[in-house]
């Protein structure tokens, strides 16, 4: 069987030059993921990235106008990839409740490497989503950036799974609140399990976070 080649399309508003168009662009994305995970977003700079990849800082600005825009690009890439994971996992499922359980599993499970994208380390990118993503939308410019569509991939994922909630219980009042809470909460629990384990119950097994949120959703939407 031939490998399935997946192409993630990112809105051109998020970059000056498409990083997928060149080896340097892909190197910028790959090493920025490594460095943001390693240093944290605040300590990460284009100057440090340029030194890591052996290129001038100015060459990075030809792809992204700021590290803020680079972070949003990475977040959008992650949620576009996650949407692909959701569609693939749920495409052949007919029972609404089974489809919803599967979607919650995809959203809350531990991230693994996807070999479809050789220059992206999805595990490190997942770490960035947990630790740094709020810095992209907890800003004074969030409303303007939202109008420009910078967060549409994340909103599309929430909408897709919210519709699965309504397929199980059309009368449930809070599908978007529920799913965004599941996503944000599961990421917090991943963070707590690594750094503040007394705030979690992950000692119950490797899939404790997934099981907790599947159970939470089932109980929340039951008629």
CA–CA gap between residue 175 and residue 160 (Å, rounded): 10
* Mean pLDDT for the chain overall: 93
CA–CA gap between residue 110 and residue 121 (Å, rounded): 14
Number of structural domains (the chain) is 1
Q: What average pLDDT does this structure show over 197-207?
A: 89
**Quick one: what percent of the chain has pLDDT higher than 70?**
97
Whichever domain contains 120, its CATH number is: 1.10.357.10
Q: What average pLDDT does this structure show over 123-142?
A: 92
- Residue 3 is predicted with a pLDDT of 43
Position 95 in a domain? yes
Residue 217 belongs to domain spanning = 12-221
**Quick one: what percent of the chain has pLDDT higher than 90?**
85
- Residue 114 is predicted with a pLDDT of 85
- Residue 6 is predicted with a pLDDT of 65
Q: What average pLDDT does this structure show over 101-130?
A: 93
Q: What average pLDDT does this structure show over 149-154?
A: 93
CA–CA gap between residue 131 and residue 36 (Å, rounded): 10
- Residue 217 is predicted with a pLDDT of 98
Position 130 in a domain? yes
Position 151 in a domain? yes
- Residue 204 is predicted with a pLDDT of 85
- Residue 7 is predicted with a pLDDT of 73
Position 125 in a domain? yes
Element (H, E) at 7: none
Of residues 126, 8, 14, 122, the one with CA closest to residue 68: 14
Position 3 in a domain? no
Q: What average pLDDT does this structure show over 64-92?
A: 95
- What pTM did the predictor assign? 0.92
Position 7 in a domain? no
């Amino acid at each position: 069987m031939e490998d399935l080649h997946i192409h993630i399309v990112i809105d051109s508003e998020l970059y000056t030059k498409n990083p997928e168009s060149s080896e340097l662009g892909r190197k910028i994305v790959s090493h920025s993921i490594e460095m943001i995970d390693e240093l944290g977003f605040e300590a990460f700079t284009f100057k440090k990235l340029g030194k890591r990849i052996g290129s001038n800082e100015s060459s990075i600005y030809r792809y992204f106008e700021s590290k803020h825009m680079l972070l949003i690009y990475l977040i959008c890439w992650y949620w576009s990839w996650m949407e692909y994971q959701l569609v693939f996992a749920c495409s052949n499922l007919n029972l609404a409740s089974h489809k919803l359980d599967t979607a919650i599993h995809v959203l809350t499970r531990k991230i693994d490497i996807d070999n479809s994208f050789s220059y992206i380390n999805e595990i490190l990118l997942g770490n960035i989503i947990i630790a740094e993503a709020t810095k992209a939308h907890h800003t004074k410019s969030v409303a303007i950036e939202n109008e420009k569509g910078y967060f549409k991939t994340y909103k599309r994922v929430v909408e897709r799974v919210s519709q699965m909630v309504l397929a199980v219980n059309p009368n449930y009042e809070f599908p978007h609140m529920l799913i965004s809470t599941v996503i944000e909460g599961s990421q917090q629990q991943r963070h707590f399990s690594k750094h503040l384990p007394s705030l979690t119950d992950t000692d119950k097994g490797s899939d404790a976070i997934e099981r907790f949120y599947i159970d939470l959703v089932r109980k929340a939407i039951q008629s």
